[in-house]
Amino acid sequence: MTKGTEKLSLEGRVAMITGAGAGIGMACARLLGGRGAALALVDRDPDALASAAQTLKSEGIAVNAQVVATIGQRKPTHAAFADGVAQAGRIDILVNNAGLYLRTPMAEIDDEEWDRIFDVNVRGLYHLSIAAAEHMKSNGWGRIVNIASVDGIVPFPGMAHYAASKAAVISLTKTFGAAYVGDGVLVNGVAPGAIDTEPMRIGNHIARLAETVIPMGRGGQPEEMAEAVAFLASEAASYCVGETLVASGGLAYR
């Protein structure tokens, strides 16, 4: 570690990352692990989870826990966190990355689809954050980083339920930040723009956005979002609480 970067080190920390099997979650796992954190990986897809863990271990990254779980309702979500603690010993950093992304015209969103979005993106994040913050405050130190979205800031009628759920994530980030800062637990968020992941490639969606509404003229990479997450998970972000860092290539301000 070179002088001036010591505060970015995550040596000795244990990081739980949800939705770790691919995309932003996998990029976060690789970067946080590369900076010294041992990992507790969570994903609903057992095959994706096993593959991610195997890849990371082959790169010399410590994977201390693997938890197959669907984040949402209280009981299974708290159980998933407890499983991660049981395997890894403790959790110092939580990255709430798991989320459901659906594009549906406003007039066609039914109650079932609305509930599916909010169950994962809001309810699951809330319950996991409660479990993590209560665990972390007993150690006097913790970091929770929520993955929100530029859609929670900029109106997109083609995904109103997703956008509303991510606006809720931004609000919860502020509330959790205020609630736990006195316990040494700092809660912040990252609001990615259009990121080059599999769901965004469906229907050539990301390419169209890059051509029409993203000032930088390209989608972001998962690794770029991981850099923001790693900063907020570190000592370098010691004066950040309740903040949501927007990383959208200028999309949020077009």
Q: Which of 3-12, 136-145, 186-195 has the lowest mean pLDDT?
A: 3-12
Strand partners of residue 143: 93, 186
Pairing between strand 244-247 and 185-192?
parallel
Decide if 15 contacts 93 (C-beta within 8 A).
yes
Per-residue pLDDT tens over the stretch 96-118 = 999 999 999 999 999 999 999 99
Mean pLDDT of 82-90: 98
254: pLDDT strictly greater than 80 = no
According to the model, what pLDDT value does residue 199 have?
A: 83
**CATH code for 10-247?**
3.40.50.720
Prediction pTM value: 0.96
Residue-averaged pLDDT of the chain: 95
Closest CA to 15 of 234, 169, 237, 177: 234
Give the mean model confidence (pLDDT) for residues 22-33.
98
Specify whether 162 is catalytic. Answer: yes
Kindly name the residue from 101, 126, 162, 180 that is annotated as catalytic: 162
The confidence band for 1, taking pLDDT boundaries of 50, 70 and 90, is low
If DSSP states are collapsed to H, E and C, what string results for 125-152? HHHHHHHHHHHHHCCCCEEEEEECCHHH
Which phi and psi angles does 86 have, rounded to 5°?
Answer: -60, -40
β-bridge mates for residue 95, sequence order: 17, 145
Domain boundaries, the chain: 10-247
Contact 41, 20 (CB under 8 A): yes
